[in-house]
Amino acid sequence: MAVLGLKYGCNPYQGEASISCDGPLLPLSVLNGRPGYINLLDALSGWQLVCDLKTATGLPAAASFKHTSPAGAALAVPLDETESRMYFAPKEPSPIATAYIRARGADRMSSFGDFIILSDICDESCAKVIKGEVSDGILAPGYTPEALEVLKAKRKGSYCILQMDPSYKPSSALETRTLFGLTFTQERNTFIPSDKDFTNIVTKAEDISEEARRDLVVAMLTLKYTQSNSVCYACRGQSVGVGAGQQSRIHCTRLAGGKADLWMLRHHPAVLGLPFKPGLSRNDKDNVIEQYLADEREVDVIASWEACFTHKPEELTKEEKKAFIASFQPLSLASDAFFPFRDNIDRAAKSAVRYIVQPGGSLRDDDVIRAADEHGIVMVLNGVRLFLH
């Protein structure tokens, strides 16, 4: 049996932490640093997600995980000029660097201190992006020598770097977990979206563009590895708002929708043109942007802007924000279970959602479909629940 000892369990006082497998070797190796229990939960869930994304789309993929759910997941769709500015991206990033820039950019506040997972070899371009971010570690199928040198210098040499064997497949179709001395067993979730998952269109609007279909795939696969209840908004090959672990579905939809709104507003010319003082870090800029776009702020936060801007910027009104979101390109949305009430659809429509995939099966499916028709939304009922607990 192969065993890897970990720093500690979920908390520092929970010792005897390790991972193991029946074979002579673990499918992952530690190249630098020392991983913890939560690091490995994030790394192994994220690895499955990026592999699923690449299998489904053929594109390199990246994920930014925090506390066993993705803060962001993305494909290597080229950045346009606006995206490059809003993500603080370097010139001409490599495909895998682009995937991570998008994954991190989906929700930069939640990605602070993330664990990074890449589907492809980490190159120097990607490593240099990661160098400037606050992150706990990374897992990838390999690293170029230049990338490894850059990453090993992070966190005073303690940055956690894991390498995954890309050929590894679990030996069993079953997975187990132990809770309170009892062992649970079930089949692993092997769902990958395919064409058949988009055939049951139940709304008057029926046309789904190839880009929207790709985004629905991204959203569904993101939910597959997100703690339930969960809802995911997606656009341009990436998640842009993830609502995870809420007991009520409308709370998921609101939480994810609020994140999607902030993501869209980061495209606004007023945000792109904020007069930051030279030398302000990316993380400080993220915090300031969040406060700038907030509808309600503390007075002391506004006063602190003097330390961030060369001059006080003109603020966006609620009406201006609403109009900008309404004019944005269509977003896609997936839910890990059915919508019990139409309020979810009404909220999604406020965030430019025009494509939805969900399992269906609610007693109020007719009300939910009627709401989608009123908003001109294309809705697919694919019958696939994606709970994760």
Do 31 and 87 fall into the same domain?
A: yes
268 flagged as catalytic: no
Catalytic residue among 32, 39, 224, 229: 229
387 located within any domain = no
Cα–Cα nearest to 335, from 367, 370, 368:
368
**Dist CA 389 CA 386 (whole Å):** 10
Do 287 and 310 fall into the same domain?
A: yes
Do 78 and 214 fall into the same domain?
A: no
Residue 230: alpha-carbon gap to chain centroid: 12
Do 110 and 76 fall into the same domain?
A: yes
Q: How confident is the model at residue 303 (pLDDT cuts 50, 70, 90)?
A: low
Stretch among 75-84, 175-184, 304-313, 318-327 having the lowest mean pLDDT: 304-313
**Dist CA 280 CA 288 (whole Å):** 10
Looking at the predicted structure, is the pLDDT value of residue 300 above 70? no
67 flagged as catalytic: yes
Residue 32's pLDDT is 98
pLDDT digits 0-9 by tens, 221-260: 999 999 999 999 999 999 999 999 999 999 999 999 999 9
Residue 296's pLDDT is 77
Residue 298's pLDDT is 64
Average pLDDT over residues 374-381: 98
% of the chain surpassing 90 pLDDT: 91
Catalytic residue among 32, 39, 66, 344: 66
254 located within any domain = yes
- Who's near 378: CB < 8 A, 6+ residues apart? 201, 203, 205, 206, 207, 208, 212, 354, 355, 356, 372
Average pLDDT over residues 341-349: 98
Q: CA dihedral in degrees (355, 357, 363, 367; nearest 10)?
A: 0
Do 226 and 252 fall into the same domain?
A: yes
Long-range contacts of 197-200 (CB under 8 A, 24+ apart): 197/357, 197/380, 197/382, 197/384, 198/357, 198/380, 198/382, 199/380, 200/360, 200/380, 200/381, 200/382, 200/383
Average pLDDT over residues 256-265: 98
Structure token pair of residue 25: 């070797």
pLDDT digits 0-9 by tens, 133-158: 999 999 999 999 999 999 999 999 99
**Dist CA 358 CA 219 (whole Å):** 11
DSSP 178-214: EETTEEEEEE-------GGGG--B-SS-----HHHHH
Do 101 and 6 fall into the same domain?
A: yes
State how many domains the chain has.
3
What would you report as the CA-atom Rg of the chain, rounded to the nearest whole angstrom?
Answer: 21
Alpha-carbon distances of 295 from 13, 283, 319, 322, 353, rounded to whole Å: 40, 21, 11, 12, 21
Interhelix angle for 37-57 vs 210-224, to 10°?
A: 150
In whole numbers, what is the pLDDT of the chain averaged over residues? 95
Looking at the predicted structure, is the pLDDT value of residue 299 above 80? no
Residue 193's pLDDT is 96
311 flagged as catalytic: no
What pTM did the predictor assign?
0.96
Cα–Cα nearest to 385, from 364, 368, 369, 362:
362
Tokens 């229990």 found at: 37
- Who's near 322: CB < 8 A, 6+ residues apart? none
Q: Can you give the CATH number for the domain in which 283 is found?
A: 1.10.287
389 located within any domain = no
Do 100 and 146 fall into the same domain?
A: yes
Catalytic residue among 156, 169, 318, 389: 389
Do 19 and 112 fall into the same domain?
A: yes
182 located within any domain = no
Angle, vertex CA 202, rays to CA 197 and CA 208, nearest 5? 60
**Dist CA 91 CA 115 (whole Å):** 24
Do 13 and 86 fall into the same domain?
A: yes
Residue 282's pLDDT is 87
Question: Kind and range of the H or E element at 242?
Answer: strand 238-244
142 located within any domain = yes
Angle, vertex CA 109, rays to CA 14 and CA 12, nearest 5? 10
Do 257 and 289 fall into the same domain?
A: no
Catalytic residue among 67, 128, 251, 285: 67
Average pLDDT over residues 338-343: 97
pLDDT digits 0-9 by tens, 100-136: 999 999 999 999 999 999 999 999 999 999 999 999 9
Residue 69's pLDDT is 96
169 located within any domain = no
The residue range of the domain holding 285 is: 274-315
Do 296 and 354 fall into the same domain?
A: no
DSSP 125-188: HHHHHHHTS-EEEEEES-B-HHHHHHHHTGGGGT-EEEEE-TT---S-SEEEEEETTEEEEEE-
Looking at the predicted structure, is the pLDDT value of residue 267 above 70? yes
Amino acid code (one letter) for 328: F
Long-range contacts of 79-86 (CB under 8 A, 24+ apart): 82/267, 82/272, 83/236, 83/267, 85/272, 86/266, 86/267, 86/271, 86/272
% of the chain surpassing 70 pLDDT: 98
Cα–Cα nearest to 234, from 324, 88, 335, 362:
335
Do 40 and 104 fall into the same domain?
A: yes
66 flagged as catalytic: yes
Q: Can you give the CATH number for the domain in which 207 is found?
A: 3.40.140.20
Q: How confident is the model at residue 344 (pLDDT cuts 50, 70, 90)?
A: very high
